[in-house]
């Protein structure tokens, strides 16, 4: 940017690296073998989830950990033809700002950020390994959310806004947890893009059985963030299934081509089952799910509306544009997203400090510098600011 911004941006996608006891501090130790506990195998610590060693993350202690954004050029299209394992070799002891909110505030000041949304790292992938035991899932995230409140807070100094994790595996639990979170000052809640597995099987997140939860979201006016995670998707035999962050295995290009399937299905379900017609004050933000699915989904929604004349109370594309905000991958072309949903529905997020993040959050300014100042400000500040405010009915 030729001139500095006259404001400090709001980064709508930041992460912490969970403390070792993030999931166990508030969990009855007698439940460890059913829910989660740690085990040391060959000198390395692994989480044991639901009685099974979880190896989906190479080092779940994050100490040492790779540098923020070390794979940024790789995700920009890998212009240098680098192998990701080479880029990941340099690792350092975990930094205070990854786990301490005061240290993080100092880093935010140095980065030029005013406020951030903070999301889980491990927390976004731990629901799937426990899907066979919905009650254990609620135990896990009850414990996790209490840790999150203690270590980060839900609105720390009105600058760091950590999102409690909510799952719909048990609607009564979800309603209670939502009430608790709102009472503790939460501005957003976060869930993964997946059909929850309840005691009676999987169900769409927009199924009417979950209406008590959505009714309370609607009444409170709290934003629901749907953040990328392990959605448990199968490749239907085209590739090996199973979540992993390792780049050391044989590449499976088809898995990379399918990355946006979960969010497309999730948002399509909300629209198709008319969630927003029942609850007109619900706001949903899609974060770290990408945006390349948008043209096809919006086109197909229009086609379905014509084929099922009378099903939708209004044009479903307009419903989508009114209720859903999009945080594109930073490597997406922002102009393409704007052309589909408008600058009022695009939010900036850097994914810092993950390996696929921008090395510095405000590197994103290079992608929006061609926009007029008002459009820049909406994307970099105003849209997230609005979503961060409760808008009760």
Q: What is the average per-residue pLDDT within 118-125?
A: 98
Is pLDDT at 354 greater than 80 in this prediction?
yes
Residues 46/60, Cβ–Cβ less than 8 Å: yes
Render pLDDT for 228-269 as a digit per residue (tens, 0 to 9): 999 999 888 888 878 777 666 666 787 778 889 999 999 999
Of 9-23, 72-86, 313-327, 340-354, the one with minimum mean pLDDT is: 72-86
Of 36-50, 145-159, 253-267, 311-325, the one with minimum mean pLDDT is: 253-267
Between 81 and 11, the higher pLDDT residue: 11
Distance CA 47, CA 49 (A): 6
Residue 366's pLDDT band (boundaries 50, 70, 90)?
very high
Residues 24/36, Cβ–Cβ less than 8 Å: yes
Identify the pLDDT of residue 248.
60
Residues 195/159, Cβ–Cβ less than 8 Å: no
Is pLDDT at 2 greater than 60 in this prediction?
no
Q: What is the average per-residue pLDDT within 175-191?
A: 98
Is pLDDT at 177 greater than 60 in this prediction?
yes
pTM of the model: 0.96
Identify the pLDDT of residue 247.
64
Q: What is the average per-residue pLDDT within 20-33?
A: 98
Identify the pLDDT of residue 1.
46
Is pLDDT at 86 greater than 90 in this prediction?
no
Of 2-6, 306-310, 385-389, the one with minimum mean pLDDT is: 2-6
Q: What is the average per-residue pLDDT within 301-325?
A: 97
Identify the pLDDT of residue 206.
98
Residue 83's pLDDT band (boundaries 50, 70, 90)?
confident
Enumerate domains of the chain plus CATH numbers: 10-387 (3.20.20.140)
Residue 79's pLDDT band (boundaries 50, 70, 90)?
confident
- The mean pLDDT value of the chain amounts to 95
Identify the pLDDT of residue 3.
64
Residue 154's pLDDT band (boundaries 50, 70, 90)?
very high
């Amino acid at each position: 940017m030729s001139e500095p911004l006259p404001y400090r941006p709001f980064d709508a996608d930041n992460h912490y690296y969970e403390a070792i006891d993030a999931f166990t501090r508030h969990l009855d130790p007698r439940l460890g073998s059913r829910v989660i506990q740690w085990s040391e195998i060959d000198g390395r610590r692994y989480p044991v989830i639901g009685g099974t060693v979880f190896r989906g993350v190479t080092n779940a202690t994050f100490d040492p950990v790779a540098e923020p954004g070390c794979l940024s050029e790789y995700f920009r299209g890998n212009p240098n033809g680098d192998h990701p394992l080479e880029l990941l070799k340099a690792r350092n002891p975990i930094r205070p700002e990854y786990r301490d909110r005061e240290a993080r505030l100092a880093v935010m000041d140095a980065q030029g950020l005013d406020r951030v949304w903070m999301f889980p790292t491990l927390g976004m992938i731990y629901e799937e390994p426990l899907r066979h035991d919905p009650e254990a899932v609620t135990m896990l995230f009850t414990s996790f959310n209490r840790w999150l409140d203690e270590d980060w807070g839900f609105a720390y100094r009105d600058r760091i806004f950590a999102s409690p994790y909510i799952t719909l595996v048990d609607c009564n639990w979800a309603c209670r947890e939502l009430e608790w979170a709102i009472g503790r000052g939460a501005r957003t809640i976060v869930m993964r893009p997946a059909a929850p597995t309840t005691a009676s099987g999987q169900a769409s997140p927009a199924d009417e059985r979950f209406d008590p939860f959505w009714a309370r979201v609607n009444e409170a006016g709290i934003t629901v963030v749907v953040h990328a995670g392990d959605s448990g998707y199968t490749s239907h035999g085209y590739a090996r299934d199973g979540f992993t962050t390792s780049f050391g295995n044989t590449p499976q290009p088809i898995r990379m081509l399918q990355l946006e399937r979960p969010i497309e299905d999730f948002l399509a379900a909300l629209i198709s089952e008319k969630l927003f017609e029942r609850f007109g004050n619900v706001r949903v933000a899609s974060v770290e799910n990408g945006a390349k699915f948008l043209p096809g989904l919006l086109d197909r929604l229009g086609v379905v509306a014509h084929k099922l004349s009378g099903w939708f109370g209004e044009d479903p594309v307009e419903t989508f544009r009114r209720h859903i905000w999009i945080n594109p991958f930073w490597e997406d072309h922002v102009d393409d997203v704007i052309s589909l949903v408008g600058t009022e529905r695009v939010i900036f997020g850097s994914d810092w400090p993950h390996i696929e993040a921008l090395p510095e959050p405000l590197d994103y300014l290079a992608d929006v510098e061609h926009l007029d100042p008002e459009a820049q400000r909406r994307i970099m500040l105003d849209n997230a600011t609005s979503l961060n405010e409760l808008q009760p009915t």
